[in-house]
């Protein structure tokens, strides 16, 4: 019985631990993307850093909205960042665009994990624990 209880709790505890790390990882990726944008602006003056900043801010705002509601607008905001990467490649900052693409992928992965954790209900696990405890007490 203790083994089953531990097995049920292990799944929920790992989700709680994961949910604490995800916002920090997303913030770190956005910071790295911004640094690459600043570097591109220093190297190529024609790079539009203001539009780039607005796209990053829209990712943060949409992530906040996604956490409050049942929407998934962050994925669209992240995809819009590709336009800035295309601009970087056109002006000759392809290495920065490549690094940004990697960070963009990390953000997508973390968002998908966030959505999954958010949609997972822990009530069935708690209910199963109560059933097991009740059966154990009766037996």
115-136 per-position pLDDT tens digit: 887 777 666 666 777 787 788 7
Mean pLDDT on 1-16? 65
Unique residue bearing structure tokens 């097991």? 132
pLDDT of the residue at 58: 94
Mean pLDDT, the chain, integer:
84
- pLDDT tens readout for residues 25-42: 999 999 999 999 999 888
pTM higher than 0.85 for the full model? no
pLDDT of the residue at 72: 86
- pLDDT tens readout for residues 38-80: 998 888 888 889 999 999 999 999 999 988 888 888 999 999 9
d(CA 136, CA 139): 5
Question: 55-88: string of b/e by CB count within 10 Å (b at 16+)?
Answer: bbebbeebbeebeeeeeebbbebbeebeebbebb
Work out the percent of the chain whose per-residue pLDDT is above 70.
84
Lowest mean pLDDT among 8-12, 67-71, 98-102: 8-12
pLDDT of the residue at 20: 81
Q: Which of 75, 56, 85 is nearest to 115 (CA)?
A: 75
pLDDT of the residue at 15: 67
pLDDT of the residue at 7: 62
pLDDT of the residue at 26: 92
Q: How far is CA 66 from CA 59, 72, 77, 129, 132, in A?
A: 10, 6, 11, 30, 35
Which position has the higher pLDDT, 92 or 108?
108
* Extents of the domains making up the chain: 23-120
């Amino acid at each position: 019985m203790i083994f089953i209880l531990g097995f049920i709790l292990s799944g929920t505890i790992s989700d709680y631990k994961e949910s604490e790390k995800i916002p920090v990882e997303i913030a770190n990726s956005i910071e790295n993307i911004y640094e690459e944008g600043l570097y591109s602006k220093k190297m190529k003056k024609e790079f539009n850093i203001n539009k780039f900043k607005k796209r990053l801010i829209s990712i943060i705002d949409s992530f906040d909205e996604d956490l409050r509601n049942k929407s998934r607008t962050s994925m669209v905001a992240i995809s819009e960042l590709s336009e800035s990467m295309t601009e970087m490649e056109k002006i000759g900052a392809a290495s920065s665009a490549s690094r940004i693409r990697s960070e963009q992928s990390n953000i997508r992965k973390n968002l998908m994990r966030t959505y999954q954790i958010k949609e997972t209900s822990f009530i069935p696990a708690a209910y199963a624990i109560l059933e097991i405890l009740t059966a154990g007490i009766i037996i």
